[in-house]
């Protein structure tokens, strides 16, 4: 028991160190990108290199952000939240991007028992990651369907379906493993974070695809009743 506590304490400390390092890397990155911007405005001879440097700095920032999310090991402060409201807030964040990219988000939340004990920010992160993937799978627009139903009064099922490029079966086997991405600018951490957060909220995630006709993500979460 004592050994177990000591190990979990060690894990906590190494998580904190990792998060600290990630934060510290951000500052020099901001300085570098500031100077790059300054130099590129003065000299356009190397503009294509500057744009590569900038997009690589952007990618490093993305990886650090996702790494910081991953380094938070637990659901620290769960509270009762309506999952429908969490979904509504996230959809709102994507409204202008959806308009701009010709994506319609159709929501059909029928669950009457939809209160989940969760950390709202982590749960939002789940839907943000899934919506981002759906958008990226539909570069010329399409439809994302959000359904929310009760399997029974103790479980809520959230289904997010897009009609994008879909996932071939050989890719489906690999997704969720760290750094696996098929995108030029992907980090390959989004689904791993999603799965981790849902697992920590005692739920489950299932991803299926009718390649090349879209992707379906099903999330089941326990309903909270006091």
Say whether residue 190 binds Mg ion (CB under 5 A): yes
HEC profile for 55-77?
Answer: HHHHHHHHHHHHHHHHCCCCCCC
Which residue among 84, 122, 133, 209 contacts Mg ion (CB under 5 A)? 133
- Measured at the CA of 73, the angle between CA 204 and CA 122, to 5 degrees, comes to 55
Strands (E), the chain: 79-82, 103-109, 115-118, 142-152, 155-162, 204-209, 215-222
Which residue among 86, 116, 188, 224 contacts ligand ADP (CB under 6 A)? 188
Q: Helix %, strand %, coil % for the chain, to 5?
A: 50, 20, 30
Position closest to Mg ion via CB: 190
**Site map (CB under 6 A) of ligand ADP, residues 135-174, x = contact:** --x------------------------x-xxxx---x---
Which residue among 191, 205, 221, 223 contacts ligand ADP (CB under 6 A)? 191
Least distance in Å: CB of 179 to ligand ADP? 9
Asked if 109 contacts 146 with a C-beta cutoff of 8 angstroms, the reply is yes
Asked if 116 contacts 223 with a C-beta cutoff of 8 angstroms, the reply is yes
Selection from ligand ADP, Mg ion, none that 171 binds (CB < 5 to 8 A by kind) is ligand ADP
CA 97 to chain centre: 16
Of 114 and 162, CB closest to Mg ion:
162
Selection from Mg ion, ligand ADP, none that 182 binds (CB < 5 to 8 A by kind) is ligand ADP
Least distance in Å: CB of 191 to Mg ion? 7
Which single residue is written with the structure tokens 């695809």? 209
Say whether residue 215 binds Mg ion (CB under 5 A): no
Least distance in Å: CB of 129 to Mg ion? 6
Of 20 and 139, CB closest to Mg ion:
139
Say whether residue 183 binds ligand ADP (CB under 6 A): yes
Which residue among 109, 111, 126, 175 contacts ligand ADP (CB under 6 A)? 175
Please choose, from the candidates 19, 16, 58, the residue with its C-alpha nearest in 3D space to the C-alpha of residue 36. Answer: 58
Least distance in Å: CB of 45 to ligand ADP? 33
Distances (CA, A) of 225 to 123, 149, 153, 163: 18, 16, 9, 35
Name, in order, each residue with C-beta under 8 angstroms of 116's C-beta and a sequence gap of 6 or more.
Answer: 80, 81, 82, 83, 123, 156, 201, 221, 222, 223, 224
Q: Which residues bind Mg ion (CB under 5 A)?
A: 133, 190
Q: Which residues bind ligand ADP (CB under 6 A)?
A: 129, 133-134, 137, 162, 164-167, 171, 175, 180-183, 186-192, 215
């Amino acid at each position: 028991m004592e050994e177990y506590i000591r190990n979990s304490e060690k894990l906590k400390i190494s998580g904190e160190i990792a998060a600290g390092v990630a934060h510290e890397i951000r500052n020099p990155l901001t300085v570098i990108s500031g100077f790059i911007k300054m130099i590129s405005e003065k000299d356009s001879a190397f503009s294509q290199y500057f744009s590569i440097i900038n997009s690589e700095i952007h990618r490093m920032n993305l990886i650090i952000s996702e790494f910081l999310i991953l380094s938070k090991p637990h659901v620290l402060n769960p509270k009762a939240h309506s999952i429908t409201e969490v979904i509504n807030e996230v959809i709102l964040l994507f409204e202008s991007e959806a308009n701009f990219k010709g994506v319609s988000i159709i929501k059909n939340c029928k669950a009457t028992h939809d209160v989940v004990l969760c950390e709202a920010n982590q749960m939002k992160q789940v839907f943000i990651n899934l919506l981002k993937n759906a958008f990226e799978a539909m570069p010329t627009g399409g439809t994302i369907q959000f359904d929310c139903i009760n399997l029974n009064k103790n479980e809520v099922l959230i289904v997010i379906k897009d009609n994008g490029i879909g996932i071939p079966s050989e890719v489906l086997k690999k997704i969720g493993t760290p750094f696996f991405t098929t995108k030029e600018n992907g980090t390959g951490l989004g689904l791993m974070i999603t799965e981790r957060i849902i697992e920590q909220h005692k739920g489950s995630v299932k991803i299926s695809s009718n390649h090349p006709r879209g992707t379906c993500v099903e999330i089941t979460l326990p309903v909270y009743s006091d």
